[in-house]
Structure 1
Amino acid sequence: MIENQITEKVIGCAIKVHQNLGPGLLESAYQECLFYELKKEGLKVEKEKPLPLIYEDVKLECGYRLDLLVEDTIIVEIKSVEALNDIHLAQVLTYLKLNNSRIGLLINFNVLQLVKGLKRVINKYKN
């Protein structure tokens, strides 16, 4: 399955979760429901995947965790905030770089229409 097909499925599942739950819940609730929907779609999904930081030749366990990693390719970062801002985007870009991934989805469920809380993020410098 190619990246665009995976992101379409993730977005479709996120819309379904948002339609059923609406805005105003904790990130963890959306994460669990989205994880469930993605698994139901037959996608390989890892939740709270540890993400080490490698500095020079040292692997540092800094406590970074990916909300969801779909098909070993797409990083999904879930938020439930008033508005997405630059720090949220920077977080996803950093995760993409550390995981050597190309595509990330930043999803803010705390909006009336999910399309207004969705950003597709591309790591132009993937190794």
Structure 2
Amino acid sequence: MSYEIKTPHFPLKDETDKIIGTALEIHELLGHGFLEIVYKDAFEYELTERKILYKREKEYKILYKKIILPHKFFADFIVFDKVILEIKATENIADEDFAQTINYLKCSGCEVGLILNFGRAKLGIKRLVFNP
């Protein structure tokens, strides 16, 4: 008799595993309690050191009919040119954080978003998959 362990299929699993591994190391070294900007700076350092393609504060414009709306979105990071990464340092990830990340996914054409929360003793990890 043989058994097969089924693991869930996550789009861009290899890429998101690398991002999450980076976050775990940052959380282990810095702990929780710093402002968001500190974790963003640490992420930028780690992504550069690991030679992972990223862009910080990536701007996304919103096309509406034939115009570009004046409001723009700025995702914390886009990593591997495929994954939206949002960094938080709060007690809990709020509904607004999910909505914001979904909006970034819609504007960017990316399929996967990660919300990483450094605000607690245990790193919070939320993976969002957007299928238009």
SS in 2 for 1:81: coil
Aligned to 1:37: 46
1:37-76 correspondence runs (5 A): 37-76=46-85
Runs of 4+ in structure 1 over 6 Å off: none
Higher share in helix: 1
Q: Deviations over 1:40-64 (max 9, x none)?
A: 1111010011111111111134242
Structure 2 gap ranges (5+): 1-10
Q: Look up the equivalent residue of 1:118 and give its one-letter code.
A: I
How does the TM-score come out when normalised to structure 2? 0.88
Structure with the greater alpha carbon radius of gyration: 2
Aligned to 1:79: 88
Q: 1:22 aligns with which of 31, 35, 44?
A: 31
Gap change, CA 1:61 and 1:43, over 3 Å in 2: farther
Q: 1:5 aligns with which of 6, 14, 17?
A: 14
How does the TM-score come out when normalised to structure 1? 0.91
Q: 2:126 aligns with which of 104, 119, 124?
A: 119
In angstroms, what is the RMSD of aligned CA positions?
Answer: 1.2
CA shift, 1:105, in A, is 0.2
Q: Look up the equivalent residue of 1:94 and give its one-letter code.
A: N
CA distance in 2, matches of 1:72, 1:59: 22
SS in 1 for 2:34: coil
